[in-house]
Amino acid sequence: MRLLIRNIKQLVQVEEKARRLVSGKDMSVIPLISDAYLLTGSGRIMDFGRMEDLPEELKYSQKGIKIIDASGRIVFPSFCDSHTHLVYAGSREAEFADRIKGLSYEEIAARGGGILNSARLLHKTSEDDLYRQSMVRINEIIELGTGAVEIKSGYGLNTEDELKMLRVMRRIKEESPLEIRSTFLGAHALPAEYKNRREEYVDLVINEMIPLVASENLADYIDVFCDKGFFTVEDTERILMAGLKYGLLPKIHANELAFSGGVQAGVKYGALSVDHLERTGEAEIACLTGTDTVPTLLPGSAFFLGLPDPPARKMIKAGLPVAMASDYNPGSSPSGNMKMLMSLGCIRLKMLPEEALNAVTINSACAMGLSGTHGSVCRGKVANLFITKEIPSYQFLPYAFGTDLIETVILKGEIIKTLSLSKQMVN
């Protein structure tokens, strides 16, 4: 079935030629077509343009083409969420209350809570149940406009449970219409039984886990939580080198809790992205400049944990490309809402709506190696799109931070969701 979307008020993030990413001051530009049409076929974007240039043969209804009228509505490329941990068991709202009462994220982790708490829950959860719980989140983010998502392991922390998580991701790849990339994050936290034996755990990750993950082809990328109280630069470099031998490109957690040296380590090993970056100074910005590593900000976790915000403005001013992702996880960001994330980017990080939109589409696609096929409206790219309710402009999306504005979700050219309230005006 082909889809023809007509009378689109604004078709945003259009490209004649696919770009890898958008940097610096170019981030404040969103190419768009007003009063537009878009045609899909075989799951791809076939054509688009101004309504006045609609080809003659598309003016009348035809067999095999479903027509959607998008009068008053905006069409966006689906969000690309390049950093999540959405395969997990249970939840951690008791720690949420502990933090409200004054404990810090690091204090909770140091007393055996945090990631280790999720690891205990995951250990007790069967693979089927883990799949079922994770699919609820997958379906939730589809409704929220996400079309591609990266998911990390890291709540296993032993070989068997890490493989369990990665197999769940493989099953999600097979069953869901989302584009999925999976990342092995064995070095997410030190398991309790390795207390004071960090090097031995790193050896286990390198000598046992990585070869098994690679032999079953379970991961696309490799990650390390390179931060104060977790893994050192030396651990990180050893793990990244071992992963690279098996073709696992790095995407790492860096500089969330301290100036950890993680940014420099990531750049040194050609990381696709370095993520978090709440602690970023001139040295980190200089180190990223001119490299292919995408700085990825996770304002949901800075917001949820009350951390300092990463210096997005300084990065953009320095000419860097900035991506944003949800970090959807039970401890620091229990939300995969990319629209809300755009609002946080604007409100907390002082990004313009245009910069925030580039950060959650083309740049976050690049941060998971997908900007050739996702992250913009470009002929030949995968037809992952969403159509809003009637709204005044694309800038209304991050502005109306608490309102669900997505009416229709299209993934691989198929309509996944249409709200029944389609005729309702929002403003």
SS3 readout for 265-296: HHHHCCCCEEEECCCCCHHHHHHHCCCCCEEE
Rounded CA separation 333/147 (Å): 19
Tokens describing residue 134: 């994770």
Q: Which is nearer to ligand NIG, 116 or 288 (CB)?
A: 116
Q: Which of 76, 25, 65, 43 is nearest to 313 (CA)?
A: 25
Angle (CA) 85-394-409 rounded to 5° is 50
DSSP state of 329: B
Q: Is 150 in the site for Fe ion (CB under 5 A)?
A: no
CB of 117 to ligand NIG, least distance (A): 8
Q: Is 327 in the site for Fe ion (CB under 5 A)?
A: yes
CB of 84 to ligand NIG, least distance (A): 9
CB of 155 to ligand NIG, least distance (A): 7
Name the one range near ligand NIG by CB under 6 A: 65-73, 119-127, 325-333, 389-397.
Answer: 325-333
Binding positions for ligand NIG, 191-230, rule CB under 6 A: 225
Tokens describing residue 212: 């098994």
Q: Is 183 in the site for ligand NIG (CB under 6 A)?
A: no
- Could you say which of 145, 191, 299, 331 contacts ligand NIG (CB under 6 A)? 331
Q: Which is nearer to ligand NIG, 113 or 145 (CB)?
A: 113
Site map (CB under 6 A) of ligand NIG, residues 142-181, x = contact: ----------------------------------------
Q: Which of 45, 119, 16, 160 is nearest to 410 (CA)?
A: 45
Residue 331's binding partner, choosing from Fe ion, ligand NIG, none, with beta-carbon cut-off 5 to 8 A by kind?
ligand NIG
Q: What is the CA radius of gyration of the chain?
A: 21
Number of residues that make up the chain:
427
Residue 225's binding partner, choosing from ligand NIG, Fe ion, none, with beta-carbon cut-off 5 to 8 A by kind?
ligand NIG
Q: Is 115 in the site for ligand NIG (CB under 6 A)?
A: yes
Binding positions for ligand NIG, 290-309, rule CB under 6 A: 301
The CA-based diameter of the chain, rounded to the nearest angstrom, is 72
- Could you say which of 327, 354, 355, 407 contacts ligand NIG (CB under 6 A)? 327
Q: What is the DSSP code string of 344-382?
A: HHHHTT---HHHHHHHHTHHHHHTTT-TTTSSSEETTSB
CB of 298 to ligand NIG, least distance (A): 6
CB of 356 to Fe ion, least distance (A): 19
Helix (H) or strand (E) holding 124: none
Name the one range near Fe ion by CB under 5 A: 110-118, 327-335, 395-403, 410-418.
Answer: 327-335
- Could you say which of 13, 23, 329, 388 contacts ligand NIG (CB under 6 A)? 329
Name the one range near ligand NIG by CB under 6 A: 28-36, 324-332, 350-358, 384-392.
Answer: 324-332
Helix (H) or strand (E) holding 151: strand 146-152
User: Using CA of residue 227, residue 198, residue 187, residue 285, what is the dihedral sign?
Assistant: positive
Q: Is 114 in the site for ligand NIG (CB under 6 A)?
A: yes
Q: Tokens 């245009």 label which residue?
A: 354
CB burial of residue 135 (10 Å; 0-12, 13-18, 19+): middle
CB of 75 to ligand NIG, least distance (A): 31
Q: Is 223 in the site for Fe ion (CB under 5 A)?
A: no
CB of 253 to ligand NIG, least distance (A): 5
Q: Is 339 in the site for ligand NIG (CB under 6 A)?
A: no
Q: What is the DSSP code string of 159-186?
A: HHHHHHHHHHHHHHHHHSSSEEEEEEEE
Which residues here bind ligand NIG, judged by CB under 6 A?
Answer: 85, 114-115, 118, 225, 253, 256, 301, 327, 329-332
